[in-house]
Amino acid sequence: MDISFGSPTAFGRGAWVVGIHEGGAFTEWAGKADSAAGGAVKRALAVSRFKGQVGHTLELLAPSGVKASRIVLAGLGKAETFDAAAAERLAATIVGRLLAVGEESLTFAVDCPAKAKIAPPELAAHLAFGALLRSYRFDHYRKVSDDEKQSLKTVVIATPDTGAAKKIWNEVSAVAEGVFIARDLVNEPANVLYPDEFARRTTALKKLGVKVDIFGVPEMRKLGMNALLGVGQGSAHDSRMVVMQWNGAGRSSGGKGKNGPLAFIGKGVCFDSGGLSMKPANSMMGMKGDMGGAAAVVGLMHALAKRKARVNAIGLIGLVENMPDGKAQRPNDIVKTMSGQTIEILNTDAEGRLVLADVLWYAQSRFKPRFMVDLATLTGAILVALGAEHAGLFSNNDELSERLTKAGSLEGEPVWRLPLGDAYDRLVKSKIADMKNIGGSSAGSITAAQILQRFVNRVPWAHLDIAGVAWQDGEQKPLAPSWGTGWGVRVLNRLVAEYYE
């Protein structure tokens, strides 16, 4: 879909969107629409329940006096609550309705409310962002009937300052590209996107100046990454680890502590059968998406590089496939991790923490990062706690937690912090190893995080359990029209942009 910015002066062909304040008050463009259409807007408002409420719309089809095929009245709600997120939702809602109804062009002529928390160029860029995110489709493997095909080809955003809008758009669109990459990866079936293929796709980042190193089984065995390798040893597809480096701050990423790079780590289980502790059939559905954390990290690295973020960042992903086989890891096996700590395997379906244990240790040992954030579709328990609205946040650092919380709120990817502590840590003690890989029937998300914390030393660290937000069964979220949501790219990009550039 082609998106552009301009200053149109008349209601030309295609669909037009104008704003109405809550209570029915006209914006400037709404007034122009009413005048051009001979008072049709006022008449429509008089006979409808639409009064400019946020999220509500009213359509005038084939209005007389103008060439436009339809004029859509979009509720702006209260001016003081209208912000970038509201603009994105507005655009996504409209595009979702018009994407495949036969319209080929759409113009947003939405004035910035006087008391709004957003300037006109920002409004334009975020309208475009919402429109683009909603246009995503994953149709690679099906024939699309004519009445399902996307007809909308062009979107024009009316703005008085096209130069400033385009400047903001250059950065925002890079984030949208990253979200699309993450969605594509999550949506791909596991027979296509196995560990080696996933690793191969990350090499596309080299075109943007990202250094990409792929580690195979021999290299990881030499490093002592036996926990990660144990997960994948029952699969016909070998495991991989990918390290992606973006040096946008103009200095080496080999510094330590406060001068070190930012590290983002993703769980990449390309398919999770549960291993020998096999999942029931219903629970196995959707396990192609158990690499949502790794997908988000790849999308983030694309966004940072594409917008030339002034930061040094490392993305690390552990890629495995958890399958049952004669060579598969068994319950009661003990593995020695890269850190030297040992883990007793009581359930082979608690595998993501084993992958992350080695990758976290490698990240903090090699790069001495300023902080580490890992993302993982780690536990079903987080769905019980938070549903599909918030990701679970666990951390050893209050500042990092607060920054992630604020970034998530701003980007519509909210997180909710849950506790860690010695009492929970005792639940993963093993009688014959340094720890066991499950903690019992309660506090499953917390005990999983406690295991991860044992592999971060004193590095500021946050763990995001995204099992409830990485995919969805319907289309409940206006900005995420597909099964894979691409969750994580936006919140982490905002974290970097707000606090570390």
Catalytic residue positions?
279, 353
The answer to whether 241 touches 353, Cβ cutoff 8 Å, is: no
Neighbouring C-beta atoms of residue 389, cutoff 10 Å? 11
C-alpha 228: how far from chain center: 24
Cα angle value 92/96/97 (rounded, 5°): 125
The answer to whether 444 touches 346, Cβ cutoff 8 Å, is: no
How many helices (H) and strands (E) the chain has is answered by: 16, 17
**Which of 499, 490, 471, 478 lies closest to 174, judged by CA?**
490
Neighbouring C-beta atoms of residue 258, cutoff 10 Å? 8
Neighbouring C-beta atoms of residue 184, cutoff 10 Å? 20
Cα angle value 282/287/289 (rounded, 5°): 140
Residues with Cβ within 8 Å of residue 196, at least 6 apart in sequence: 237, 238, 240
**Which of 400, 412, 413, 416 lies closest to 498, judged by CA?**
400
Residue 40 token pair: 């049709």
Residues with Cβ within 8 Å of residue 42, at least 6 apart in sequence: 34
DSSP of 435-471, one letter per residue?
Answer: EES---SSSHHHHHHHHHHTTSTTS-EEEEE-TTTSB
Residue 369 token pair: 């990062």
Strand partners, 417: 393
Residue type at 63? Answer: P
* Cα(274)–Cα(375) distance, integer angstroms: 19
* Cα(153)–Cα(159) distance, integer angstroms: 20
